[in-house]
Amino acid sequence: MREPEVTVGLAGEHGLSTEEYEKILAILGRTPTYTELGIFSVMWSEHCSYKNSLKMLRTLPREGEMLLVKPGEENAGLIDIGGGLAVAFKIESHNHPSAVEPYQGAATGVGGIMRDIFAMGARPIAALDSLRFGDLSDDRVKYLFDGIVRGIGDYGNCLGVPTVAGEVYFDNAYKGNPLVNAMTVGIVRHDRVAHAVAKSPGASVFIIGSSTGRDGIHGATFASEEIGEKSEAKRPHVQVGDPFTEKLIMEATLEIIQSGCAEGVQDMGAAGITSSASEVAAKSNLGIELDLDKAPLREEGMIPYEIMLSESQERMLIIAKSGREDKIKEICDKWEVNRSIFGTITEDGNLRVRWKGNVVADIPAGSLNAGQGAPVYEREAAEPAYLKKVRNDDLSVLPAPENLTGVLERLLTSPNIAKKSWIYEQYDTMVQTNTLQLPGGDAAVIRIEGTSKALAMKTDGNGRFVYLNPRRGAGIAVAESARNVACTGAKPVAITNCLNFGNPYKPDAYWQFKEAVLGIGDACRALATPVTGGNVSFYNENPDGAIYPTPVIGMLGILDDVKKMVTAHFKNPGDIIFLAGENKGEIGGSEYLQIVHHKVSGDCPSLGLPEEKNLQEFLVEAAELGLLQSAHDISEGGLAVALAESCILNSENRPGAITEFSSPIRPDFLIFGEDQSRAILSVKPEKADEIRRLAEKYTVPTAAIGIVTKQPFQIYLNERLILEADINELSKLYESAIEEEMIL
């Protein structure tokens, strides 16, 4: 292939602006080669450089006593959990690839985030996902849903890592642009943490794993543009995964690190060889020289441009310690992993690429790296016009439904609330045998082998709330993910985030992004959960419009004693049911408003961060003192759904509940409103006074509202029965809704 002449027009076709092309000319002092243009285009794409988001991301709280690395320093965040152990965790998106090739897009998203974790020397112990789709009645949505879930399940199952938690929402805002956010959590000893740096000029650079092909070329730039009618033609930009090879690479990489053979380790993810090599060099203040003739290829006739930009999966970059090269080869051979020395660390600070004896790229590595030489912008922001309209919608005039039991039944069959077993039964949730809380509860809990500790983890993010109020809605995402973790008895300690938004060049989309980042910062500071890192996914738009702005929060919590873990379901008839928190009857952005009144309007629920902090500390101490039989966060569907779920989730001994409230709030708003900072608790009668005293200590409004029964399920308001149902019938509706939709 003859390389085309590089011009400003060709640079534009690569997603570079005229100003950026001129900056490249100034950096190099000459016209770039075709390979160099490709390198700049992927490294300066939004996906790799965060050029339109970095300025705002730097406003997030990024310091904390437990943080062992700063955000962006390594492949993932790292939290000290005591006893010489650390937790590596991170979440990333694979939205655009999954929209055009759902199975492989989702599978390789899982594979990529796994490599980020074991590149640090951490063994992955849990996977989570956060998914968004259009209306499930749509045939293409079903196709995407099925393919994405299978891709996640097959990859994780083959790798032997349990998929233990997540969330999924269905709304037409995501019809043309599904969201696939994957999170992985791993454990590593402090003395075995690997870093994405080189230390010694002259050190050998290995590429290990799969051979390099043409799949995934320009995947990073594909992720930095809107989805349109031509996106189907970009299937070659979607990588193809091989989880069996990844398993071997994981074991080889961990053994290389544990045997002390590596100076540095870097995953080859977005932008492949280009990003891994240039990022290691830039972070190390050193250079790197690569000989592409020594890179294993699986296709004939590949040119340097293709080799450097390929995003073929299951590849790692290893910087060898001097004299340990043969040991690395021996370990790779043991695990039947391809390996080749194809580069050397240099002192000059450049990324230099050779091919057939010629230098085809010679670029200062720092000029490519996010936060160093890559551009950083702050785009124009303007409040969207729709906000005034939706905020002025008077929800108080909505007609009140006559049959509240019927409303509850409709809510329990909504795919956003109904049981997600159709999804998680495709996942191996028990491999490694450390899963203490299975999918379906408030948060997953994973035992840490050899200790009395466990980790609680959850993903959360309500796009409707952020659509109605970006700053507060994003704060709610942090608060709810932390509340879910606290309901298990674990202390929330840190987050990773995946920020899914529209085109940053559109002022309303950039305003949503800015406000959401500010909201995340507000909540993380108030709850003492610093941001360890994450991912930004812009350009989530299609010809029908943008998605709801959807920041997804991955929350990590620590449970010091696994024996103190709390589950979400009611246990025994006679236990007293408490409501912790205050009822306000806020229905803006609620599932009730959407399902019954077909509206997404009003303002999202209010959020008092001091009150939220008090509630979470109350929940954690109540668990520590052994006062709780159960604790369940109140979220989608409000009080009525939370109460019903607390019964339904006990599949072995399905109890009922009789509850009573005194309130001036209209009935439907009271029991279906999604007011924040609330939880449903059950307590043995002899522990009731202790719960009240503890609630007073934390100034958490807490009231006994009922009792766990064998049957029935009833809600009274102001001494009048307003809702009555057979819990077994509710269970059937809740458990079968998604499966029946997918069968049909």
Q: CA 53: distance to chain centroid?
A: 17
CB-count burial class (<10 Å; 0-12, 13-18, 19+) for 299: middle
H or E stretch including 254?
A: helix 243-258
Q: Could you tell me if 24 and 32 are in contact, meaning their C-beta atoms sit under 8 angstroms apart?
A: yes
What is the distance between the alpha carbons of residues 662 and 653, in angstroms, rounded to a whole number?
29
Tell me the β-bridge partners of 182. 92, 129
Q: Would residue 285 be called left, alpha or beta, if left means φ above 0 and alpha means ψ between -120 and 50 degrees?
A: left
94, 218, 569, 632: the catalytic one is 94
What is the distance between the alpha carbons of residues 401 and 285, in angstroms, rounded to a whole number?
66
Residues 6+ apart with CB under 8 A from 230: none
Tell me the β-bridge partners of 320. 262
Q: What DSSP assignment string belongs to 15-78? A: T--HHHHHHHHHHHTSPPPHHHHHHHHHHTSHHHH-TTTHHHHTTS----TTBSS-TTTSSSEE
Q: How far is CA 390 from CA 52, 134, 547, 603, 698, in A?
A: 28, 21, 17, 8, 36
Give the CA angle between residues 73, 76, 77 to the nearest 5°: 85
Convert 598-616 to b/e letters by CB count within 10 Å (16 or more is b).
ebbbbbbbbbebebbbbbb
CB atoms closer than 10 angstroms to residue 30: 10
CB atoms closer than 10 angstroms to residue 297: 17
Q: Could you tell me if 253 and 316 are in contact, meaning their C-beta atoms sit under 8 angstroms apart?
A: yes
Q: What DSSP assignment string belongs to 614-655? A: HHHHHHHHHHHTT--SEEEE--TTHHHHHHHHHHHT--SS--
SS (H, E, C) 511-558: HHHHHHHHHHHHHHHHHCCCEEEEEEECCCEECCEECCCEEEEEEEEE
H or E stretch including 96?
A: helix 95-100
What is the distance between the alpha carbons of residues 127 and 431, in angstroms, rounded to a whole number?
11
What is the distance between the alpha carbons of residues 118 and 256, in angstroms, rounded to a whole number?
11
Nearest in space to 537 (alpha carbons), one of 194, 270, 256, 152 = 270
Q: Would residue 82 be called left, alpha or beta, if left means φ above 0 and alpha means ψ between -120 and 50 degrees?
A: left
- End-to-end CA distance of the chain, in Å? 50
Nearest in space to 151 (alpha carbons), one of 106, 198, 196, 204 = 106
What is the distance between the alpha carbons of residues 599 and 413, in angstroms, rounded to a whole number?
18
Tell me the β-bridge partners of 130. 167, 181
Give the CA angle between residues 253, 254, 259 to the nearest 5°: 100
14, 47, 96, 569: the catalytic one is 47
Q: How far is CA 123 from CA 85, 127, 531, in A?
A: 12, 12, 21
**Residue 16 token pair:** 């570079």
If you search the block for the tokens 């076709």, which residue do you land on? 13
Q: CA 694: distance to chain centroid?
A: 34
47 has catalytic annotation: yes
Q: What DSSP assignment string belongs to 446-466? A: EE-TTSS-EEEEEEE--HHHH
Active site amino acids:
47, 94
